[in-house]
Structure 1
């Protein structure tokens, strides 16, 4: 009887700790993840208030560029540096519904600013690209963490893109990633 009571108490305690981890209010103060798809990069997200974060991302990005002379598109892997502000807004609603908020699993809106180098790491047909790309704009997105470490993120928005020979233009922005949370 004593063993059963101890086991039941231990089980209830561990379940409540698990529930507290999955349903913590507010964003995680420090989160480091390695995104593997669609291109490898490192993302460090840190909380600046209860529901807001800054995210710094360095690595590569899968991109498509168009050769101005031939008007032909090419796919490549380009160096990337990005900073984004995220305001998470549905934490409380997710908690009320009993959904996971662990590792910033919530919806957000925000602002991004990114720089893509023209020095492609890998590019189809080895063409020479000479225009770096700068982007800034507004996004809406979400991220979800499964099995405590597997992270999926998605963003969509409108950005202003600028590169030297082409100039600036407003265009749609679409980004997703699949990664692993290190801490």
Structure 2
């Protein structure tokens, strides 16, 4: 009986894997970011949806005449859920859709510590958290170069304040290993 269940499970996994081949999104993109140094990994969770996770290092520098120069490197993390909404239109016009090249609606979360891992410049708050509903675009080119821009209404939280505003998120870098789909 256990062998029958095992074979049935393998069969169902194989069938499910083949059923997913109709996805528009890439199964996994490892990206190196330059604007805010770090790495991100975007993986498909549906036909048009992905989750993008990211580890970043923020940098701050403060200095002026008659003031000691201070700096800090701050770790941060981000995750966003993306729904790509224009793959069909891009494909029908003969445009590139590989590397998750498209426009998307997303739910973006960002967290950054206020205490540096290197340096002596400490922020007033111990943490900063941002959450936003965004509209964005991502473009990936043949050699793996990519850029992403997202914006939308958000909430900004630290240990002292909670504010509302517009979040703008920009990324520039390379897909490690290049685009996967052709």
Q: Deviation of residue 122 (structure 1)?
A: 7.3
Structure 2 gaps, min length 5: 1-21, 63-69, 178-182
Q: Which residue in 2 is equivalent to 1:39? A: 36
Segments of 4+ moved more than 4 angstroms: 62-65, 74-77
- TM-score (normalised: structure 2): 0.73
Q: Determine the structure 1 residue equivalent to 2:26.
A: 28
How many residue pairs get matched? 148
- Out of 139, 146, 165, which is 1:171 matched to? 165
| Alpha-carbon distance in structure 2 between the residues aligned to 1:97 and 1:62 | 41
**1:60/1:136 CA distance change after superposition, 3 Å:** same
* CA pair 171-63 structure 1, distance change in 2 beyond 3 A: farther
1:75 Cα deviation after fit:
9.3
Residue 53 in structure 1 maps to residue 47 in structure 2: no
TM-score, normalization: structure 1? 0.73
Alignment partners' CA distance in 1, 2:23 and 2:104:
15
2:141 pairs, out of 143, 146, 153, with 146
Distance across 2 between alignment mates of 1:159 and 1:122: 29
Distance 2:73 2:101 in 1: 28
Please name the residue that 2:74 is paired with: 78
Q: Is contact 1:39–1:77 with CA below 8 Å preserved after alignment? A: no
Give, in whole Å, the separation in 2 of the partners of 1:179 and 1:130: 31
CA distance in 2, matches of 1:55, 1:114: 11
Q: Displacement of 1:147 after TM fit?
A: 2.3
Q: 1:94-148 CA deviation, whole Å, 9 max, x = no partner?
A: 001110001000000110111111024678xx54314110111201100101124
Aligned residues of 2:71 and 2:121 also touching (Cα < 8 A): no
Residue 175 and residue 25 in structure 1: after superposition, are their counterparts in 2 closer, same or farther (change >3 A)?
Answer: same
Would you say 1:96 and 2:98 are equivalent positions? no
Distance 1:175 1:30, change over 3 A: same
